[in-house]
Structure 1
Amino acid sequence: MKNTFLRITMLCAVCCICFLTPPSNIKAELYEVRGYILGDNGDEESVDEYLSHALIPALKRHGIGPVGAFTNAPNDETGDKTIFVIIPHNDPLAMAQNREVIQSDQQYQGDAAAFFARGNRDKSYQRISSELLAAMECWPKVKVPTAVTLNKNRVYELRTYESAHEKLGHLKVDMFNNGEVPIFLDCGITPIFIGQAVVGPYTPNLTYLTMYPSEESRLQAWKSFREHPAWKVLSKVTKYKGTVSKIHKYVLVPKAYSEM
């Protein structure tokens, strides 16, 4: 029954991807963005132990990765203590198979036993928020810079751009696909992934993760972006005006076990 439900869920995901902005298709790389919301009584150490010693090693054993793990930077202003986990999948069918493989992995079940033995009164986190994204034409594959994990000062931004409706959402995707990303690169904003939402709490939207060598370089990169001549031209294109209704921005630092 569980396997049937997973297959039905992935079939629904395939159908949703077919309606995304072209040329997205059923072979698009997918990104699962999980947010382990800790709340006031969450046990961050327990979640870290589960992710670093059970889930991520199991994913790695089955060729799934690189997996990113991040939490709020000291200067993040969202107020929600969360551990974000980014899991890439080759396509929807691979995602369904990956879930089944992990659940049937006996080593994973053993390594995660203590984590799942906790009950309602001593749970490790409040809830898990989830979003599924399909890679966009402008950045079709997850890219992790060489030796990035050696830099202990690196910081990240996870941004979600909501749109009021699907048409405006497609136009924002079009804006990224036709000019915004080269400006990012020119300003020192390094994408790890960029995806259009298939399912999630803020659809229609796109979400992306970017990396910076330091907090100072992050601030300078966005200053350069706002002042970039190409951005000033692109942002004034009539059809792109009003495409974003709300922005969610998290400033993040990597967990020691992050592969991104």
Structure 2
Amino acid sequence: MYKFYSLLAFSLFVGTAVFAIVKPGKPSSKFYEIRIYHPMPGKYAEIVDRFRQYTTKIFEKHGMENIGYWTPTDTTNKELIYILAYPSREARDASWKAFGSDPEWKAVVAKTEANGKLVDHVDQIFMTESDISPKVKTGTKSPERTFELRTYTPAPGKLDDLLARFRDHTIKLFTKHGMTHIGYWITQEKDGGQPKLVYILAHPSEAEGKAHFDAFRKDPTWIKVKEESEKNGPLTTKVESIYMKPTDYSPIR
């Protein structure tokens, strides 16, 4: 009888342990936003500096969480790319309303735009955390890393299949080939269209990031996984990649 209960207890323990291992992580309830600033001609350095001196601090004042600030490694691409996090979509809207009417911010705009506007236009991407994402953590590493923003447009009806491939195979293979996972998100499309997968990886350098992906694509395990997962057609219609360097005030570096 003692052996029976010991075996039963052991079986329950093992079953619980296995369940804990395979159970998907619970994604954060935070609401995320990628904002891409396109400066007016000749105003690139000024808009980057305005964030350094003023904007990030006023964001924090209004409950916005600064996640990361980057500029493309392709210096012909004059953009500032950053991510903010909020407790919810409603909190996001309230924070931006308060920010826009803040006298401190209005004074900053008057001071920094005395010789003309700094921003031509802003692109916005709203997102929620995917259950395949690690916990999104700020912090710095030395030496400085290069980051890669990747956006996957799934084939119609293939988002779940794409996420399953990442969950079961891709993420492990990325780790195998020396890539560091920062975060994985699902977009919220304004038109109600199919969401996209957006994620950020970190590499020691752009050259090493590209070498890592070359090795990943040639990996026999990946070749087999890709072939099997795409028996009924490709899972994506478009893959976009931007290599980025963190600004000196980015919480993730």
TM-score norm. by structure 1 comes to 0.74
Give the letter aligned to residue 172 of structure 1. L
Unaligned runs of 5+ in 2: 1-23
Larger Rg: 2
Q: Is the 8 A contact 1:73 1:253 kept in 2?
A: yes
> 2:39 is matched with which residue?
38
- Could you say what the CA RMSD is over the residues aligned between the two structures, in angstroms? 3.0
Q: Is the 8 A contact 1:68 1:258 kept in 2?
A: yes
Q: Distance in 1 between matches of 2:43 and 2:163?
A: 37
Whether 1:127 aligns to 2:121 is: yes
> 2:29 is matched with which residue?
28
Distance verdict in 2 for CA 1:66–1:235, change over 3 Å: same
Residue of structure 2 aligned with 1:253, choices 242, 245, 248 = 245
Distance verdict in 2 for CA 1:248–1:97, change over 3 Å: same
> 2:137 is matched with which residue?
143
Unaligned runs of 5+ in 1: 1-22
By how many angstroms is 1:33 displaced?
0.7
SS of the residue 1:236 aligns to:
helix
By how many angstroms is 1:97 displaced?
3.6
Q: Distance in 1 between matches of 2:154 and 2:58?
A: 36
Distance verdict in 2 for CA 1:33–1:203, change over 3 Å: farther
> 1:171 is matched with which residue?
161
> 1:197 is matched with which residue?
187
Distance verdict in 2 for CA 1:182–1:50, change over 3 Å: same
SS of the residue 2:47 aligns to:
helix
More moved, 24-33 vs 127-136: 24-33
By how many angstroms is 1:104 displaced?
4.9
> 2:100 is matched with which residue?
103
More moved, 100-109 vs 170-179: 100-109
> 2:51 is matched with which residue?
51
By how many angstroms is 1:28 displaced?
2.9
TM-score norm. by structure 2 comes to 0.76
Q: Deviations over 1:111-133 (max 9, x none)?
A: 34324566xxx332321111111
Q: Distance in 1 between matches of 2:226 and 2:137?
A: 26
Q: Distance in 1 between matches of 2:48 and 2:65?
A: 17
Q: Is the 8 A contact 2:140 2:251 kept in 1?
A: no
Distance verdict in 2 for CA 1:65–1:229, change over 3 Å: farther
